[in-house]
Structures are given as structure tokens and as C-alpha cells.
Amino acid sequence: MATGIGDPQCFKGKAGASKFKEGDRVRVKDLPDIFYTRTMTYTRGAVGTVTKLVYESPAAEDEAWDNTDNPEWFYSVVFKQKELWPEYPDLYANDTVETEFPERYLESA
């Protein structure tokens, strides 16, 4: 059992029911950054597919303030490159990027 500071295992079972499941289509919300975020600009507004519910953890935006009271589900989401970069060549339409988001950044698409 991991007990390292911030290790996701410390928050296992604390986020309650997950809002999304594997295979769901989601859109990344463009929330304002108050202080610091790990949600990359290049993904904002993009629609992708949930590949995996990865762990429960407070969002980086809360942890930055030592607030670990509200763990939430984190999702691994895969995007078509073309969705992120419209100029991406059609020849490579299958190419993708996969990265993670706290639940608050996602909405059903």
C-alpha cells in the first residue's frame, strides 16, 4: 500500500461514484486557472474518449492549496490528433494523444 505524499493509493475509495465510464465521449472544459493547473491548453475544448478510470485523487488545482478534502476520479482520455490540431495530416488520421484529467474538467459530449 503506497503511503507517499500525494500517491493516488492514499485516496482510493474516497471519490464516490464516477461520473463517466470507459468508452464515454467527453469534452475538456476550459475552466479558468486560478493559480496552477496541469490541464494542458492544447486539450481544452477537445472531445475524446475515456480509455480508463485511472485513480482517485484531489485535483492538482486543490492540492496546490493543500486541500485534499475532495478527491475525485481521474480519467485517461484519448484524442484523435486531428481533434487537437486541425492541420494534422489526413493520411495519419488514426494518430492519437492520451492523457489524464480530473473529473471536474470533463463534461459529456
Q: From the list 17, 23, 66, 69, which residue makes contact with another protein (rule: CB under 8 A)? A: 66
**What's the grid cell of residue 82?**
486531428
Q: From the list 16, 22, 25, 30, which residue makes contact with another protein (rule: CB under 8 A)? A: 30
What's the CA gap between 51 and 23, in Å, rounded?
6
Strand, coil or helix: 8? helix
Residues of the shown chain interacting with another protein in the complex, contacts defined by CB under 8 A: 1-9, 30-33, 36-42, 44, 54-55, 57, 60-61, 63-64, 66, 74, 76, 78, 81, 84-85, 91-92, 94-102
